Amino acid sequence: MKDPLQTTPEMRSKSPLDKQAWSQQHYGSGFNDARPLMNVKILGNGGALNEGLRFNAFIINGQSLVETPPDICSSLYENAIKVENIQEIFISPFHGDHYFGFPYLALKQFALKKPLSVRLLGPRGLKNRITGIIDLAFGDHHPILDWMEEHYLFEEIDENTRCNFAQGQISTVPMNHIVENYGFRLPGKMDFLYFSDSIWDPRLLEYIKNDSTILMDINGSEGNNSIHASERDVVEHLLPALGENSLVYGTHVQQYRESSVPKLIYAQAGETIVIQH
C-alpha cells in the first residue's frame, strides 16, 4: 500500500511542507541504531569582528547547516558544498553574523528551480525575521517569499525543543547572550554539543552527560569576555568537567589562533571534525 506520507517532487511543488512528510522523506520511518561517523565540516571560525576569517558556520554530514552568516555562500562554495544538498538549517540567534547571509543562500536555492524541501530552525519570530531580511535584501514581496512558502518548513525553537536534526535528535541548550540564542546537544556514542554565542555560564555543564565533542564560542579570549566565553573559561571551568575522551573546539574568534592547551583545539575553516557517533 502506498504510504500516505510519501510525496513526489510534483506534489511537493504544489503543497506546503509539513513536518511529518519532511521527516519521512529525509529520515525514513525510524532512526538507524548503527549510525555512521558524523562529519562536522567547519565553514568558518570568525566572530562578528574578525581579522580575515570566514564567519562562524558549519555543516553536519554535508546536509545540516548551522548558521547563515553574511559570507555563507562563499564558504559553501570554497568547500564544494552544493546548496541543493542542504536539507535543514539551524540559526542560533538573530544576530547579523548568524543570519545576514540567509537571503543569498535562499536566492541560490530559488534560482536552481529544483523541488527542494528545506527545514529552517531558529528562535521565536523566525518567519517574521526571515521575511524581514528578504524584504530588505530584495524589495517587498519578492517572488522568493512565495517560493519559500512551498519549499521551506519553518520551525521555531525554544529552551524546551527536542527535535530531529543532523540524523539524530537534538535538544536545545539556552545560551547566556544579549539576545535569545540556542545551541544544541546531539547525543551519540560521543555527544556533539554546539555552544553558540554565550558568556561562560555554569549551567552549560548540565548538558554534558558523556564524553563530548564541544564546538563553542570563545570569542572572549581577546578580552571581550563580558559577552563571550574565553579560553580561560574553558581551562578553568569546562575542561575539568569533561571525560577523558572529550575535546573542545574553539570557534567564533577574532583572529587566527592556535592552542597550547591539551584538549582545546581552535577550529579552522575547511577542517572536518569526525565524531564517532
Please choose, from the candidates 259, 257, 256, 255, the residue with its C-alpha nearest in 3D space to the C-alpha of residue 247: 259
Helices (H) and strands (E) in the chain, counts: 8, 14
Size of the site for Zn ion (CB under 5 A): 2
Query: Looking at 58-66, 97-105, 111-119, 172-180, which segment touches Zn ion (CB under 5 A)?
Result: 97-105
Among 88, 97, 155, 191, binds Zn ion (CB under 5 A): 97
Which residue lies nearer to Zn ion by CB, 97 or 155?
97
The answer to whether residue 197 forms part of the interface with Zn ion (CB under 5 A) is yes
Which residue lies nearer to Zn ion by CB, 168 or 220?
220
The answer to whether residue 71 forms part of the interface with Zn ion (CB under 5 A) is no
Binding mask 212-241 for Zn ion (x = CB under 5 A): ------------------------------
3-state secondary structure of 176: coil
CA distance 143 to 192: 38
CA distance 52 to 46: 8
Which residue lies nearer to Zn ion by CB, 101 or 188?
101
Query: Looking at 58-66, 103-111, 191-199, 240-248, which segment touches Zn ion (CB under 5 A)?
Result: 191-199
Q: Which three cell numbers stand for residue 24?
A: 519521512
Which residue lies nearer to Zn ion by CB, 155 or 197?
197
CA distance 94 to 198: 14
In order of 25, 97, 207, 223, the CA distances from 227 in angstroms are 40, 15, 20, 10
Q: Name the site residues for Zn ion (rule: CB under 5 A).
A: 97, 197
